[in-house]
Amino acid sequence: MKTKFAWIFALMLGFILVLSACAGTGDVEPSDGGADEDETEETGDDNGGDDAAVDSDGDNIVIAVSSDLVSLDPHGNNDVPSSNVRSNLYETLVKQNENMEIVEGLATDWEPVGDNAWKFTLREGVKYHDGTEFTAADVKANLERVLDPAIASPRAFLFNMITDVTVESDYEVVITTEYPFAPLLSHLAHDAGGMLSNAVIEEDYAQALEAAGLDLTVEEYYELRAAGGDEFEEVVGEIAEHVGLYAAQHPYGTGFFKLESRNSGEQTVLSRFEDYWGENAKPATVTFKVVPEPAARVAELETGYSHIADPIQPTDKNYVNDHADTFVNVQESVSLSYVGFNTQKAPFDDPKVRQAISLIVDQEAIIEGIYQGNGIPAVGPLAPDVFGYDPEVDGLLHDLDRARELLEEAGYADGFSTTIWTNDNEQRVETALYIQHVLGEFNIDVEIEELEWGAYLERTANGEHDMFILGWSTVTADADYGMYALLHSSMHGSPGNRSFLSDDTLDELLDAGRRETDPDARLAIYREAQDLLVDLAPMIYVHHQNYLTGVRNEVQGFWVDALGIYQLKDVTLSN
């Protein structure tokens, strides 16, 4: 059986490589929409930009991306393509530098106040894109908004431990949590902590209340929200479909770029914000051009129509590096690629079935055959650079004999039929084909369904799937983010737990991990949780990949962080 599989897989891989060589390109993986998850009229000039956009006070950078953004609202979808645009529009109280250390952002100082609170001193003289001033009232408005059930933010879990935000002065704010929460600063540095203009927030609520036909002012709505109760729940139900619409169309942050234009599904253009509080961005504009086809993205890069192309398919890495005008930027990541099971649907409601399939799938075959060795095997949800990672966990390594025993014990010795979902990410499609083949050797009939990115996120959030292929980036570099959202029973669906896993013991461990402040005690908690996950097997942990981004030689000052976010503020084009 192994010999037969090796021959078929080698043949399939050889065919893919021949196609790649003939085309000069291959296919690529989107970030979170592609691991994860964005027009200008093109000319043939060296800059690859739009003639109308070119000006003398800065370069016009064009990035060919595989997936369009989903939302410009900082409290909207939790996907990488959206975050890559929003990170230029919005700023957070604190930031993470290239070493994942917490540094100043919109706050210049912070200090603990007792066990459960932090006091932040804010930067003065900061303006939003709409001309209003950033103050402590904006911090309160944003944090209360992301937690508002009417917004139904999939990112609310990042801040659901916050019980109070107190404005002490225009430039001082105290954030109080229900319990001591060790990774609070890391969570505040997350894209979801981006500060949206309070004027936009209030207008958004005002329009939602009016659209719902409610005779309430925004202030009265805030009072109802603070009080809670049945009346508030009724109002939430009436405004839920309206709230957020205005905010998504008016993404006024304090970032060094502002929104210039957007053509959904085609391109988003950002322009330099001249009233930025710090040193201005160097590019005049940055265009995120949606180019779904991997071969087309490489062609954009070769011809100079785009200066940056993301992602580059592993099979295209050498081709791009060998081109006289381009190279591949390689960045290690804290991301996870995985194959998830819907643990609430038979036969995947049986952990023995999940364990068996995990043992059938050979990570090394996927990494070497599909990802061209790009990345390292994963034994659990956490990458080695994430706090809480336990190198002693063995995981479910490739073992066909044990897999067969488990299927017999679960009553599926004769196999079963199922489906696996993927988006148009090339590596995910190839992974689905590989899984279809190897499970077929165990009489498990797998039908592959490929969905458009937006529909893929929506339908997996609704739990309509059997198996699915996706990615997760632990953007805070802390186990709480890498495990709580993906695996806690309160996070079913769009927040992250698309496996719909529910396990009381695991929930207790993850709750304890976010409440414990002693680092050694936290490590012990997450070690126990990772051991438990070997038995629960909610997903096949495939690998921690490297981000591959194509860059033209004339691009200076560009880099990608470990979260997969483009750093664009200081990008220039050399002559």
Phi-psi domain of 463 (left: phi exceeds 0; alpha: psi -120 through 50; beta: other): left
Instruction: Name all contacts of 297-303 with Cβ < 8 Å and 24+ positions apart.
Output: 297/25, 297/28, 297/64, 297/66, 297/550, 298/24, 298/25, 298/26, 298/550, 299/25, 300/48, 300/62, 300/64, 301/64, 301/326, 301/550, 301/551, 301/552, 302/326, 303/44, 303/48
Mean pLDDT across 200-227? 97
Mean pLDDT across 512-523? 92
Q: What was the pLDDT predicted at 562?
A: 81
Tell me which amino acid residue 49 is: G
Tell me which amino acid residue 209 is: L
Q: What was the pLDDT predicted at 293?
A: 92
- 12: pLDDT confidence band, cut at 50, 70 and 90? very low
Please write the tens of the pLDDT for every residue from 364-400: 999 999 999 999 999 999 999 899 999 999 889 899 9
Nearest to 95, CA basis, from 281, 255, 264, 305: 255
Q: What is the percentage of the chain residues whose pLDDT exceeds 90?
A: 79
Tell me which amino acid residue 34 is: G
Q: What was the pLDDT predicted at 23?
A: 33
Least confidently predicted of 6-10, 120-124, 338-342: 6-10
How far is C-alpha 569 from the chain's CA centre?
Answer: 21
Maximum distance among all alpha carbons in the chain?
72
- 15: pLDDT confidence band, cut at 50, 70 and 90? very low
Q: What was the pLDDT predicted at 430?
A: 95
Q: Rounded mean pLDDT of the chain?
A: 89
Q: What was the pLDDT predicted at 477?
A: 87
Q: How far apart are CA 215 and CA 230, in angstroms?
A: 17
Domain spans, the chain: 50-69+255-331+549-575, 91-252, 338-545
Q: What was the pLDDT predicted at 341?
A: 98
Report the SS3 class of residue 34. Answer: coil
Nearest to 20, CA basis, from 434, 307, 312: 312
Tell me which amino acid residue 179 is: Y
Query: Cβ neighbours of residue 390 under 8 Å, at least 6 residues apart?
Result: 380, 382, 523, 526, 527, 530, 531
**Which H or E element spans position 527?**
helix 519-536
- 424: pLDDT confidence band, cut at 50, 70 and 90? confident
**Would the CATH topology of 91-252 be identical to that of 338-545?**
no
Q: What angle do CA 499, 505, 511 make, to 5 degrees?
A: 85
Contact by Cβ (8 Å): 544, 305: no
Q: What was the pLDDT predicted at 50?
A: 39
Q: What was the pLDDT predicted at 125?
A: 97
Q: What was the pLDDT predicted at 11?
A: 37
Phi, psi (5° rounding) for residue 19? -60, -40
Q: What was the pLDDT predicted at 316?
A: 93
Please write the tens of the pLDDT for every residue from 470-489: 999 888 889 999 999 999 99
Contact by Cβ (8 Å): 395, 541: yes
Report the SS3 class of residue 426. Answer: helix
Answer whether residue 47 shows pLDDT above 80. no
Contact by Cβ (8 Å): 435, 55: no
Least confidently predicted of 9-13, 109-113, 284-288: 9-13
- 98: pLDDT confidence band, cut at 50, 70 and 90? confident
Residue range 338-545 in CATH 3.40.50.1820: no
- 340: pLDDT confidence band, cut at 50, 70 and 90? very high
Contact by Cβ (8 Å): 92, 105: yes
Residue 443 in tokens: 């009489």
Please write the tens of the pLDDT for every residue from 273-326: 999 999 999 999 999 999 999 999 999 999 999 999 999 999 899 999 999 999
Mean pLDDT across 18-40? 32
Q: How far apart are CA 428 and CA 236, in angstroms?
A: 38
Mean pLDDT across 149-163? 93
Q: CA end-to-end span of the chain, whole Å?
A: 57
3-state secondary structure 171-238: CEEEEEECCCCCCHHHHHCCHHHCCCCHHHHHHHHHHHHHHCCCCCCHHHHHHHHHHCCHHHHHHHHH
If one counts every other C-beta atom within 10 angstroms of the C-beta of residue 108, the result is: 14
Q: What was the pLDDT predicted at 41?
A: 24
Q: What is the percentage of the chain residues whose pLDDT exceeds 70?
A: 90
The domain covering 91-252 belongs, at the CATH homologous superfamily level, to Dipeptide-binding Protein; Domain 1 (3.90.76.10)
Nearest to 153, CA basis, from 248, 74, 242, 66: 74
So what CATH class is 50-69+255-331+549-575?
Answer: alpha beta
Contact by Cβ (8 Å): 313, 550: no
